Structure 1
Protein backbone atom coordinates (compact mmCIF):
# COMPACT_ATOMS: atom_id res chain seq x y z
CA UNK A 1 0.00 0.00 0.00
CA UNK A 2 1.40 3.42 -0.93
CA UNK A 3 1.27 6.27 1.53
CA UNK A 4 0.15 9.74 0.47
CA UNK A 5 2.77 12.39 1.20
CA UNK A 6 1.89 15.33 3.41
CA UNK A 7 0.55 18.20 1.31
CA UNK A 8 2.86 21.13 0.62
CA UNK A 9 1.43 24.64 1.01
CA UNK A 10 3.41 27.43 -0.60
CA UNK A 11 2.92 30.68 1.34
CA UNK A 12 3.62 33.79 -0.70
CA UNK A 13 3.33 37.39 0.42
CA UNK A 14 0.82 38.41 -2.22
CA UNK A 15 0.67 41.34 -4.59
CA UNK A 16 -1.83 43.55 -6.35
CA UNK A 17 -0.13 42.52 -9.58
CA UNK A 18 -1.88 39.35 -10.86
CA UNK A 19 1.37 38.19 -12.50
CA UNK A 20 2.80 37.55 -9.03
CA UNK A 21 -0.04 35.17 -8.15
CA UNK A 22 0.37 33.39 -11.47
CA UNK A 23 4.08 32.95 -10.79
CA UNK A 24 3.24 31.30 -7.46
CA UNK A 25 0.67 29.04 -9.13
CA UNK A 26 3.26 28.10 -11.78
CA UNK A 27 5.74 27.20 -9.05
CA UNK A 28 3.09 25.04 -7.36
CA UNK A 29 2.47 23.23 -10.65
CA UNK A 30 6.21 22.69 -11.16
CA UNK A 31 6.70 21.31 -7.65
CA UNK A 32 3.65 19.09 -8.10
CA UNK A 33 5.05 17.74 -11.38
CA UNK A 34 8.37 17.00 -9.67
CA UNK A 35 6.66 15.27 -6.73
CA UNK A 36 3.88 13.05 -8.12
CA UNK A 37 1.47 12.04 -5.39
CA UNK A 38 2.23 15.08 -3.24
CA UNK A 39 -0.55 17.67 -3.14
CA UNK A 40 1.00 21.12 -3.69
CA UNK A 41 -1.14 24.20 -3.13
CA UNK A 42 -0.49 27.93 -3.26
CA UNK A 43 -1.62 30.46 -0.67
CA UNK A 44 -1.05 34.15 -0.04
CA UNK A 45 -0.84 36.34 3.04
CA UNK A 46 -2.33 39.42 1.37
CA UNK A 47 -4.07 40.66 -1.80
CA UNK A 48 -4.85 37.18 -3.18
CA UNK A 49 -6.96 34.26 -1.99
CA UNK A 50 -6.82 31.70 -0.58
CA UNK A 51 -4.89 32.45 2.57
CA UNK A 52 -2.88 29.74 4.33
CA UNK A 53 -5.50 29.25 7.06
CA UNK A 54 -8.20 28.55 4.47
CA UNK A 55 -5.96 26.08 2.63
CA UNK A 56 -5.15 24.27 5.89
CA UNK A 57 -8.85 24.09 6.82
CA UNK A 58 -9.68 22.62 3.42
CA UNK A 59 -6.87 20.09 3.71
CA UNK A 60 -8.02 19.05 7.19
CA UNK A 61 -11.58 18.66 5.93
CA UNK A 62 -10.24 16.46 3.12
CA UNK A 63 -8.51 14.19 5.64
CA UNK A 64 -5.00 15.64 5.71
CA UNK A 65 -4.15 16.26 9.39
CA UNK A 66 -0.68 17.63 8.56
CA UNK A 67 0.93 19.81 5.92
CA UNK A 68 4.33 21.27 5.16
CA UNK A 69 4.26 25.07 4.82
CA UNK A 70 6.97 26.60 2.64
CA UNK A 71 7.44 30.36 3.01
CA UNK A 72 8.05 32.18 -0.26
CA UNK A 73 8.68 35.55 1.36
CA UNK A 74 11.57 36.39 -0.93
CA UNK A 75 11.05 40.14 -1.31
CA UNK A 76 9.56 42.96 0.70
Structure 2
Protein backbone atom coordinates (compact mmCIF):
# COMPACT_ATOMS: atom_id res chain seq x y z
CA UNK A 1 0.00 0.00 0.00
CA UNK A 2 2.79 2.42 0.93
CA UNK A 3 4.62 1.50 -2.27
CA UNK A 4 1.60 2.50 -4.36
CA UNK A 5 1.29 5.85 -2.58
CA UNK A 6 4.99 6.58 -3.07
CA UNK A 7 4.68 5.73 -6.77
CA UNK A 8 1.63 8.00 -7.10
CA UNK A 9 3.46 10.83 -5.36
CA UNK A 10 6.49 10.38 -7.64
CA UNK A 11 4.30 10.38 -10.75
CA UNK A 12 2.45 13.48 -9.56
CA UNK A 13 5.74 15.23 -8.88
CA UNK A 14 7.13 14.28 -12.30
CA UNK A 15 3.94 15.54 -13.94
CA UNK A 16 4.14 18.83 -12.03
CA UNK A 17 7.75 19.30 -13.16
CA UNK A 18 6.78 18.52 -16.76
CA UNK A 19 3.88 21.00 -16.64
CA UNK A 20 6.09 23.73 -15.16
CA UNK A 21 8.78 23.12 -17.79
CA UNK A 22 6.27 23.40 -20.64
CA UNK A 23 4.61 26.47 -19.11
CA UNK A 24 8.00 28.16 -18.74
CA UNK A 25 8.90 27.37 -22.35
CA UNK A 26 5.54 28.68 -23.56
CA UNK A 27 5.78 31.85 -21.46
CA UNK A 28 9.21 32.64 -22.90
CA UNK A 29 7.87 32.32 -26.43
CA UNK A 30 4.75 34.29 -25.58
CA UNK A 31 6.78 37.07 -23.96
CA UNK A 32 8.81 37.31 -27.18
CA UNK A 33 5.54 37.65 -29.09
CA UNK A 34 4.40 40.46 -26.79
CA UNK A 35 7.70 42.26 -27.41
CA UNK A 36 7.23 41.88 -31.16
CA UNK A 37 3.69 43.25 -30.96
CA UNK A 38 4.94 46.14 -28.85
CA UNK A 39 7.54 46.99 -31.51
CA UNK A 40 5.11 47.03 -34.46
CA UNK A 41 4.95 50.52 -35.96
CA UNK A 42 1.51 51.88 -35.16
CA UNK A 43 -0.76 53.80 -37.50
CA UNK A 44 -0.77 57.55 -37.18
CA UNK A 45 -2.92 58.68 -34.28
CA UNK A 46 -2.63 55.41 -32.37
CA UNK A 47 -0.16 55.10 -29.55
CA UNK A 48 0.61 52.23 -27.21
CA UNK A 49 -1.62 53.75 -24.53
CA UNK A 50 -4.69 53.83 -26.77
CA UNK A 51 -7.69 51.63 -26.00
CA UNK A 52 -7.12 49.73 -29.26
CA UNK A 53 -3.59 48.70 -28.34
CA UNK A 54 -4.54 48.02 -24.72
CA UNK A 55 -7.39 45.78 -25.91
CA UNK A 56 -4.97 43.81 -28.06
CA UNK A 57 -2.67 43.19 -25.10
CA UNK A 58 -5.61 42.16 -22.91
CA UNK A 59 -6.72 39.68 -25.56
CA UNK A 60 -3.19 38.27 -25.73
CA UNK A 61 -3.04 37.86 -21.95
CA UNK A 62 -6.43 36.10 -21.96
CA UNK A 63 -5.14 33.79 -24.68
CA UNK A 64 -2.00 33.12 -22.61
CA UNK A 65 -4.14 32.06 -19.64
CA UNK A 66 -6.30 29.77 -21.77
CA UNK A 67 -3.27 28.15 -23.40
CA UNK A 68 -1.52 27.59 -20.06
CA UNK A 69 -4.67 25.92 -18.74
CA UNK A 70 -4.77 23.76 -21.86
CA UNK A 71 -1.12 22.74 -21.39
CA UNK A 72 -1.87 21.66 -17.84
CA UNK A 73 -4.92 19.63 -18.92
CA UNK A 74 -3.10 17.90 -21.77
CA UNK A 75 -0.09 16.88 -19.69
CA UNK A 76 -2.14 14.94 -17.13
User: TM range, normalised to the smaller chain?
Assistant: 0.3 to 0.5
Higher percent of residues as strand? 1
Higher percent of residues as helix? 2
- TM-score, length-normalised on structure 1? 0.39
Query: Which has the greater radius of gyration?
Result: 2
- TM-score, length-normalised on structure 2? 0.39
